[in-house]
Structure 1
Amino acid sequence: MSLWTELPVLWKTVLLLSASNVFMTFAWYAHLKNLADKPWWIAALISWGIALFEYLLQVPANRIGHTDLTLAQLKILQEAITLTVFVPFVVFYMGQPLKLDYLWAGLCLLGAVYFIFRS
């Protein structure tokens, strides 16, 4: 048996959603840095190509996750992972400063995760 088959559903979902979010973040925002001098439709086509990989991970993540998690849990989990991926992207890839507001937003999302998973 492989390590993948031994992982609990929640961890499979988190790993797939995390990888999916890396592609999504690049698809949505990297063109602002890398393709700023290109027409919008070129950026859109390239972003669409990157987003394909996001969907190839996101759809199985939600299908696997839905076997144990509610839709609300999947959505809140997705949002928490999105911020976890987005902050390092903004700081390290886009070169923007880290802001204290990211911490406050993260704490609000942790609260949402707590309330949606507490039962």
Structure 2
Amino acid sequence: MPGVHKKTTISFRVSEMERMQIEANIKSSGMLKQNYFVRASIYNRICVVGKKETIYPLVEELEKMQKTLKKLSNEFMNNEVSINEEKLYDLEEQYKAMVSAIIKMLDAAEYLWNSDKEKSPK
């Protein structure tokens, strides 16, 4: 509830890669950071059902990633690379984290498009 402060604070340290994965998961969930951490800690699995408010930011993020990759591809083809190896590695890690978060969300919502027949073993 807005304006109501809870008494307990929980904190922890993470690596840069873990932070990027957590941030990507939060972004893909569409939740507030605090709510995401509480639910993830209590329930250990977050299933976000696709809705316009959740999906649209993911589409925007994927479009941004696509534009950046196209730009880099053109630069590589023309030998005009404007990104150093460290920045390229950081970009790769950021993209891996975001794509991983999107895949997790889609896997959790798989029941929406798979029929019961497809799920049952033969």
User: Radius of gyration: which is bigger?
Assistant: 2
TM-score normalized by the length of structure 1:
0.36
Which structure has the highest helix share of the two? 1
Which gives a bigger RCO, structure 1 or 2 (Cα 8 Å, sep 6+)? 2
TM-score normalized by the length of structure 2:
0.35
